[in-house]
Amino acid sequence: MFPLHRGRRLRTNESIRSLVRETSLSPSDFMFPMFIAEGENVQVEIPSMPGIFRRSIDLTVKEIHELFDLGIRAVNIYVKVSENLKDNTGKEAWNQDGLMQNAIRAIKAACPEMIVMPDVALDPYSIYGHDGIIGNGDVENDSTVDALVKMAVSHAQAGADFVAPSDMMDGRVLRLREGLDAVGFHNVGIMSYSAKYASAFYGPFRDALDSAPVDATEIPKDKKTYQMDYANRIEAIKEALWDVEEGADMVMVKPGIAYLDIVREVKNAVNVPVTVYHVSGEYAMIKAAAERGWLDHDKIMMEQLMCIKRAGASLISTYFAKEAAILLNK
């Protein structure tokens, strides 16, 4: 009771505030999403994501060394494949000489201690831009899962430390675990996108990979039949618990800032690390506002990352990873 209790005593100066601070950030809290393109010496900035590039494997490896030197220990990688390699089966996704597989091998050869978590979903390989195989006017669940198992095994064979299924098909974590174990990859982990919402925040990401659903009357116009309804909370807890029961080593909530209530609910419900994806739209909004002088870029960046950690994230996948690590190292 006032005047015996004065909260401001613990806010008097930065020294005391740092002593009692409940949450902290370090570069090892971050995972950096990377976009990989065909070719050599290729670096193309993504217009809707200033400062983020599609890079060829050679330049990606150079960036990996810079990230590791900053203290970042994990990358989540995505590929932009040629149009002529896309179809409705996704077969290029498990090509052992494919772009993703070659990228994994190159990263692990150059920096063995960097944890590589390749994306497992068919949208970069689909002529329809969906995360699975289209049949009877919708995304087929079970045939898609069969394809994802082949994809994940090929990633493990290339040297991936974790596979990261982002597709939201039912039962895929169990099938992936069984498929990996069957060929001896018992120590390859699964970071499951457990609560991935059908969000409008993904627009710049789809620009980066040219992976938005195509506009065709015979297929779903969006991903709402498999990604979650953003009105739902209990469903996220259920999905995360199911994935843990099926063998997920980590679970993910995506997007980040707009879903911190879900992060905390999932954190309270599961006994595995919770990853949060601070997504492309959230990144783009800060960049756009900062360019106009409406917000202080670095202060907003660090505040949002701290809030994600405070909500319960063990690992934050963020396009700000490099910039934030540079600031933290200062």
Per DSSP, the residues of 250-273 read EEEEESSGGGHHHHHHHHHH-SS-
Write the CB contacts of 275 (distance below 8 Å, at least 6 apart in sequence). 31, 191, 250, 251, 252, 253, 313, 314, 315, 316, 317
Helix, strand, or coil (residue 225): coil
Render 90-131 in DSSP notation, one character per residue.
-GGGG-TTSHHHHHHHHHHHH-TTSEEEEEE-SGGGBTT--S
170-202 burial: b if 16+ Cβ within 10 Å, else e: eebbbbbbebbeeeebeebbbbbbbbbbebebb
Nearest-angstrom CA–CA distance, 51 and 45: 7
- Which one is catalytic: 254, 267, 287, 322? 254
Instruction: HSE, CB side, 13 Å, CA atoms: give it for residue 178.
Output: 10
Write down the catalytic residue from 86, 108, 196, 309.
196
> In DSSP terms, which residues pair with 93 in a beta bridge?
none
287 tagged catalytic:
no
* DSSP tag of 182: H
Residue 145's alpha-carbon distances to 139, 254, 320, in angstroms, are 11, 21, 32
User: Is 254 an active-site residue?
Assistant: yes
Structure tokens at 278: 């601070």
Catalytic residues: 196, 254
